[in-house]
């Protein structure tokens, strides 16, 4: 049973420390963000920068919250070990316009085969600083800020918080860039950084490196990619060719699922997208006869597809792939296939006959929650609620039905940095944190309400802060329990 | 809580993937239709309060996933059911042929005490689609339902809301009957976990 092995966390020691301090910071922040809500607002007037906004695009709540905890952030920002406040770049998309980083900062026009050649635009960062020399404001003492008696002009406060966040973003970006542009990428380092979220512009490359799809050795990349992409094209030609007997039941199942995949995002309503997903899923299914296509795998395609496509289409959610160059789309499709394959390799027993991986995870989840909040489990049992009734889907679709796609993507930054066990093992701890978050409410509910609540949890509007808090909690549970596996077999 | 328990009717919807199980449930409970339902994973759950004659009952509906791969978890959802709705798509022959398999699968996994009298109903959905595409005739379907043990048969359009109320009205009456029979049968009926379930299910396949 390969899955029995529990976490090997790479160079765990410093990270462990950081995460818990991160966790403390986050709990404070997240509370306030809950109170304020996560509404988009117009940035404060007089902010220097239309440019800034495109980079930043942060809800007001985040800004205030950021202002509250500047010390923590500043203390952390300069250290590699610490979690930078990366959340600003992951705010859920509501309005189309705010999102792209602006043409000057989108890092990729070329195909992914030459990620490193795209770096010139990264050099925009010093330029950016030159444009806004006042980006580093003199630090006020925290006391001054927090003092309720004094009332600093809210604009100033917001602006300086904004600037600090930008600087943090920039610093983070440079740290990633340094790792990724090395001749030989230090994977352990990339994992460590990625745990706390990957900058949007570097995500495609980072994911491909973390999954082992892209070679760490820069000189081998373009050959390797060319080979894999050709292999995919050949594979598709073969299984769709005249010599291959079509598995009609499987083809049909995929064909009815693809048009109902992520339909609320325009990208997935286009024929070109659906045709690509159909090919990807069918080829994967044919190549993995032990499981074949299982509903839910269609969902797992989308974070890859969208992330890789975003390198070529700034407004990816509205993009019609048919309008992109053929070679670009072929590359995105092939990369999606291979990365999906890599991911599914780590959770294969979720989808084979009787889905033992999922049954195990649901059992583990129940055991874990019994440890964390015994009262909750007692209550659920008394109400006749079985974990299988709500958690099956959490495992089968990796919480993709409960969270918006943007948050799933952020979650995958962390999961991929836990490769190879992120999706099989760490996910269970995340689900525990997810459930326990609602423990108080659930304890006041009867069977029917519990099921309805968990079928439709109030998490589709969650933002990055909620996600990061949840994952930090999961990390703590994992640190506490991963080597004490006896509870999972209870 | 009052001494007399609220009447709960538990209903399960089964059938092949894409025949419109979710749409039927949504049309019945929320009176709406959408083209955007995602494939159901595991099972979805909705409830509806219904007047039946002079009493009000609560119907709890489990809308299950259609893909065969998910059948192994039926146990978690089927147990304690009072009625089972078998759905097929009148434009899809295979979904019709699967009806018997779904019925058998349900009886095995739900651990029903009297399989012969357990209430099923069959729904042929998507009658709004072009008549030329239809592959299962009313006559054929009605005939098969009779062979299945005189199972009531309805043809519906979840999209246009045709006949959905009528079908669920029969579901609720038959479920209530079953529930009352169960009640007499079992004084302390409270959905208790049947500890023999696994063993029995395992034995009969040997």
The answer to whether the beta carbons of residues B90 and B155 sit under 8 Å apart is yes
Q: Is domain A225-345 classified as CATH 3.40.1350?
A: no
Contact B72 A355 (CB under 8 A): yes
By three-state DSSP, how is residue B15 classified?
A: strand
The answer to whether the beta carbons of residues A335 and A112 sit under 8 Å apart is yes
In chain A, where does the domain assigned CATH 1.10.472.80 lie? 2-7+352-489
**CB atoms closer than 10 angstroms to residue A148:** 5
Per the domain annotation, does B21 fall within a domain?
yes
Min Cα separation B150/chain A (Å): 30
**Dist CA B143 CA B128 (whole Å):** 22
Contacts of B125 in chain A (CB under 8 A): none
For domain A2-7+352-489, the CATH class is mainly alpha
**Dist CA A341 CA A207 (whole Å):** 13
Tokens of A486: 């006896």
Per-residue pLDDT of chain A (490 residues; tens, 9 = 90+): 444 344 444 443 344 334 444 333 333 333 333 333 333 333 333 434 333 443 444 333 343 433 333 333 333 333 334 444 344 444 333 333 333 333 333 333 333 333 333 333 333 333 333 333 333 333 444 444 444 445 666 677 788 888 998 998 899 999 999 999 999 999 999 999 999 999 999 999 999 999 999 999 999 999 999 999 999 999 999 999 988 899 999 999 999 999 999 999 999 999 999 999 999 999 999 999 999 999 999 999 999 999 999 999 989 999 999 999 999 999 999 999 999 999 999 999 999 999 999 999 999 999 999 999 999 999 999 999 999 999 999 999 999 999 999 999 999 999 999 988 899 999 999 999 999 999 999 999 999 999 999 999 999 899 999 999 999 999 999 999 887 655 555 4
Mean pLDDT of chain B: 88
Tell me whether B18 touches chain A (CB under 8 Å): yes
Per the domain annotation, does B1 fall within a domain?
no
- A135 φ, ψ to 5°? -60, -25
Per the domain annotation, does B2 fall within a domain?
no
Contact A264 B36 (CB under 8 A): yes
Contacts of A452 in chain B (CB under 8 A): 45-47
CATH number at residue B51: 3.40.50.300
Contacts of B21 in chain A (CB under 8 A): none
Residue ranges of B 92-111 with Cβ closer than 8 A to chain A: none
| Res A489: pLDDT | 55
What is the DSSP secondary structure assignment for residue A195, as one 8-state letter? T
Torsion of CA A273, A278, A279, A282, to 10 degrees: 160
Give the residues across from B89 on adjacent strands. B125
DSSP assignment of A68-112 equals HTHHHHHHHHT-TTS---GGGGGPPP-SSTT-S--TTT---SS-T
The answer to whether the beta carbons of residues B40 and B21 sit under 8 Å apart is yes
Nearest to A53 by CA among A165, A199, A136: A165
Q: Provide the domain count of chain B.
A: 1
Tell me whether A248 touches chain B (CB under 8 Å): no
Contact B36 A257 (CB under 8 A): no
The answer to whether the beta carbons of residues A389 and B76 sit under 8 Å apart is yes
Show the DSSP H helices in A82-202 as ranges.
Answer: 124-131, 142-146, 154-180, 187-194
Contacts of A393 in chain B (CB under 8 A): 41-42
Q: How many Cβ pairs closer than 8 A exist between chain A and B?
A: 71
Contacts of A257 in chain B (CB under 8 A): 17, 39
Tell me whether A455 touches chain B (CB under 8 Å): yes
Confidence category of residue B74, pLDDT binned at 50, 70, 90: confident
User: Nearest Cβ partner of A396 from B42, B60, B76?
Assistant: B42
**CB atoms closer than 10 angstroms to residue A141:** 9
* B-chain residue closest to A294, CA distance: B69
Nearest to A327 by CA among A312, A314, A342: A312
Contact B17 A393 (CB under 8 A): no
* A-chain residue closest to B16, CA distance: A253
In chain A, where does the domain assigned CATH 1.10.8 lie? 225-345
Contacts of B72 in chain A (CB under 8 A): 353-355
Tell me whether B41 touches chain A (CB under 8 Å): yes
Tell me whether A397 touches chain B (CB under 8 Å): yes
- Please compute, for residue A258, the number of CA atoms within 13 A of its CA located in the half-sphere on the CB side: 21
Domain that holds residue B74: 8-204
User: Nearest Cβ partner of B41 from A253, A384, A396?
Assistant: A396
Min Cα separation B10/chain A (Å): 11
User: Nearest Cβ partner of A448 from B17, B60, B77?
Assistant: B60
Label the pairing between strands B120-125 and B83-89: parallel
């Amino acid at each position: 049973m390969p899955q029995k092995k529990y976490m090997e966390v790479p160079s765990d020691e410093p990270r462990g420390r950081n995460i818990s301090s991160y966790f403390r910071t986050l709990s404070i922040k997240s509370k306030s963000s809950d109170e304020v809500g996560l509404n988009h607002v117009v940035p404060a007037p007089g902010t220097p920068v239309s440019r800034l906004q495109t980079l930043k695009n942060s809800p007001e709540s985040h800004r205030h919250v950021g202002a509250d905890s500047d010390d923590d952030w500043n203390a952390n920002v300069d250290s590699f070990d610490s979690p930078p406040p990366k959340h600003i770049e992951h705010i859920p998309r509501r309005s189309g316009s705010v999102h792209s980083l602006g043409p000057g900062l989108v890092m990729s026009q070329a195909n992914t085969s030459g990620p490193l050649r795209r770096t010139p635009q990264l050099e925009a960062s010093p330029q950016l600083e030159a444009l806004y020399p006042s980006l580093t404001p003199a630090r006020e003492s925290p006391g001054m800020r927090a003092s309720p008696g004094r009332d600093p002009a809210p604009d100033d406060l917001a602006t300086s918080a904004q600037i600090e966040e930008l600087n943090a973003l920039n610093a983070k970006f440079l740290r990633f860039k340094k790792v990724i542009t090395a001749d030989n990428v230090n994977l352990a380092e990339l994992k460590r950084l990625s745990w706390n979220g990957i900058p949007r512009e570097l995500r495609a490359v980072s994911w491909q490196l973390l999954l082992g799809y892209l070679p760490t050795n820069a000189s081998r990349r373009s050959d390797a990619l060319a080979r894999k992409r050709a292999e995919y094209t050949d594979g598709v030609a073969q299984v769709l060719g005249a010599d291959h007997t079509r598995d009609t039941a499987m083809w049909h199942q995929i064909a009815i699922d693809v048009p109902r995949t992520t339909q609320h995002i325009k990208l997935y309503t286009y024929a070109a997208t659906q045709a690509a997903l159909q090919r990807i899923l069918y080829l994967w299914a044919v190549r993995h006869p032990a499981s074949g296509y299982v509903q839910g795998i269609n969902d797992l395609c989308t974070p890859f597809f969208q992330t890789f496509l975003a390198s070529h289409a700034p407004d990816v959610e509205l993009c019609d792939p048919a309008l992109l160059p053929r070679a670009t789309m072929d590359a995105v499709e092939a990369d999606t296939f291979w990365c999906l394959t890599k991911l599914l390799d780590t959770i294969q027993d979720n989808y084979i006959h009787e889905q033992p991986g999922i049954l195990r995870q649901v059992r583990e989840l129940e055991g874990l929650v019994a440890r964390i909040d015994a009262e909750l489990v007692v209550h659920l049992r008394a109400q006749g609620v079985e974990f299988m009734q709500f958690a099956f889907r959490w495992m089968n679709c990796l919480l993709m039905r409960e969270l918006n796609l943007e948050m799933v993507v952020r979650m995958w930054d962390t999961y991929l940095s836990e490769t190879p066990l992120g999706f099989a093992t760490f996910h269970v701890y995340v689900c525990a944190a997810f459930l326990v978050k609602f423990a108080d409410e659930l304890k006041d509910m009867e069977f029917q309400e519990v099921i309805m609540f968990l079928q439709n949890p109030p998490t589709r509007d969650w933002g990055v802060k909620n996600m990061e808090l949840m994952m930090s909690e999961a990390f703590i549970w994992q640190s506490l329990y991963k080597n004490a596996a006896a509870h999972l077999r209870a | 809580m009052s001494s007399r328990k609220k009447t709960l009717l538990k209903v399960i919807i089964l059938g092949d993937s894409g025949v419109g199980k979710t749409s039927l449930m949504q049309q019945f409970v929320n009176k709406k239709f959408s083209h955007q339902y995602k494939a159901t994973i595991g099972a979805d759950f909705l409830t509806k309060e219904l007047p039946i004659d002079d009493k009000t009952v609560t119907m709890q509906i489990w809308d299950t996933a259609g893909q065969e791969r998910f059948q192994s978890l039926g146990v978690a959802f089927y147990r304690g059911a009072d009625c089972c709705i078998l759905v097929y798509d009148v434009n899809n022959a295979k979904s019709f042929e699967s009806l018997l398999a779904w019925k058998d699968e349900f009886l095995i996994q739900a651990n029903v005490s009297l399989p012969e009298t357990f209430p099923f109903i069959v729904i042929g959905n998507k009658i709004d689609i072009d008549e030329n595409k239809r592959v299962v005739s009313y006559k054929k379907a009605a005939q098969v339902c009779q062979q299945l043990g005189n199972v009531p048969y309805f043809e519906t359009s979840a999209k246009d809301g045709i006949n959905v109320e009528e079908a669920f009205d029969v579901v609720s009456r038959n479920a209530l009957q079953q529930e009352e029979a169960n009640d007499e049968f079992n004084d302390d009926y409270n959905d208790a976990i049947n500890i023999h379930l696994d063993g029995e299910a395992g034995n009969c396949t040997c």
